[in-house]
Amino acid sequence: MAHPPIKFVSGMPILGPFAENWENVLRFQAREDDVMINTYPKSGTTWMSEIVDQLFNAGDTKKTDRGAIFERVPFLEFAVPDMPSTTQTLDNMKNRRVIKSHLPVELVPKSFWEKNSKIIYVARNAKDLLVSYYHFHRMAIVHPDPGTFEEFIQTFMEGPISFGLWSDHVKGWWKIRHQKNVLYLFYEDMLEDLKREIGKVVKFLEMDLPDDILEKISQHTTFKAMKKNKMTNYVTCPTTVMDHTISPFMRKGICGDWKDQLTVAQNELLDQYLKREMSDTDLTFRYTL
């Protein structure tokens, strides 16, 4: 199964093995109290997942240590041979569900809108994301072989790439950001002031937690804390899915890593591309902090 090719479902490129379970994703039954964490890959999904699970457990790490993040916050579209699909796992979950998804807004199963489930969207700047996604393609071997970094830049800009183009994804969700059941946040804002951004999540989820618990959760969800926590750093994920000897899942967790990774020419190419792609939106990103 190493590096299977991309397939298309409902017009969207998706990881080959995930395509086999697509009908069950479309038919998925959301619940009113579900919380979906939606992102383009590598935008802070795991970070936000841990934050929300921490909030639901009032920062009690004995409870949040009950399983790895990918078990506590199942990934809706995930499906690989010889493992139960996530849609099946989620159907069987009795407690309140926090669900990870990378689906573009137009492909979110319609039951999420019918049930008015809450959705937290996290967006990250394209350049750091591109670098992160490249290394992830190398280590998470359900992805196609990314080729050289130079080749991957082309794939990032033109596709096909799983979950479609970054620009379409972030702009699509941006258009519906004022909907009451949607909260749109930025990775860079979380890096700048994590407690402030956690406060937005608390308000959105209509929760009430004392300041000392929020402080504890902020400490527990720093990059440093999550990198050494085996419940959040993906080291327990089967090696048939991720190979951390190639690149760790928790790699750098910063804003501005792209400056060390992109050549001047690659950076110029991306700037031109971003200028074109983002000319029809008021959505902007921070590339340095």
Residue 87 interacts with ligand PPS (CB under 6 A): yes or no: no
Min separation Cβ 77 and ligand PPS, Å: 11
Total number of residues that touch ligand PPS (CB under 6 A): 21
Does position 221 bind ligand PPS by CB under 6 A?
yes
Sign of CA dihedral 176, 157, 101, 111: positive
**If we measure between CA atoms, which residue out of 76, 31, 27, 26 comes closest to residue 181?**
31
216 binds ligand PPS (CB under 6 A): no
Contact residue for ligand PPS among 21, 24, 38, 39 (CB under 6 A): 39
Q: Give the range of 29-37, 44-52, 144-152, 169-177 binding ligand PPS by CB under 6 A.
A: 44-52
**In the window 135-164, what residues touch ligand PPS (CB under 6 A)?**
135-136
The dihedral over CA atoms of 273, 132, 45, 250, expressed in degrees to the nearest 10, equals -160
**Residue 47 touching ligand PPS (CB under 6 A):** yes
Would you say 22 or 258 has its CB closer to ligand PPS? 258
CB of 164 to ligand PPS, least distance (A): 14
* Pairing relationship of beta strands 12-14 and 98-101 according to DSSP bridges: unpaired
Task: Tell me the closest approach of the beta carbon of residue 58 to ligand PPS, in angstroms.
Answer: 19
Asked whether position 226 contacts ligand PPS by CB under 6 A, the answer is: yes
Choice from 113, 149, 174, 223 touching ligand PPS (CB under 6 A): 223
Cα gap 8→12, rounded to integer Å: 5
Q: Which letter does DSSP use for residue 140 in this model?
A: B
169 carries an active-site annotation: no
Considering only 117, 132, 218, 229, the residue that binds ligand PPS (CB under 6 A) is 132
CB of 147 to ligand PPS, least distance (A): 18
CB 144 within 8 A of CB 163: no
What are the distances in angstroms from CA 68 to CA 18, 25, 45, 228? 21, 22, 14, 13
> Strand order in 118-123's β-sheet?
98-101, 35-39, 118-123, 182-186
CA angle 109, 110, 113 (to 5 degrees): 115
Q: How many Å separate Cα 84 from the centre of its chain?
A: 21
Among 17, 44, 59, 104, binds ligand PPS (CB under 6 A): 44
Out of 13, 24, 25, 42, the only residue in the binding site for ligand PPS (CB under 6 A) is 42
SS3 2: coil
What residues line the site for ligand PPS (CB under 6 A)?
A: 39, 41-47, 128, 132, 135-136, 221-223, 226, 250-253, 257
Active-site residue set:
102
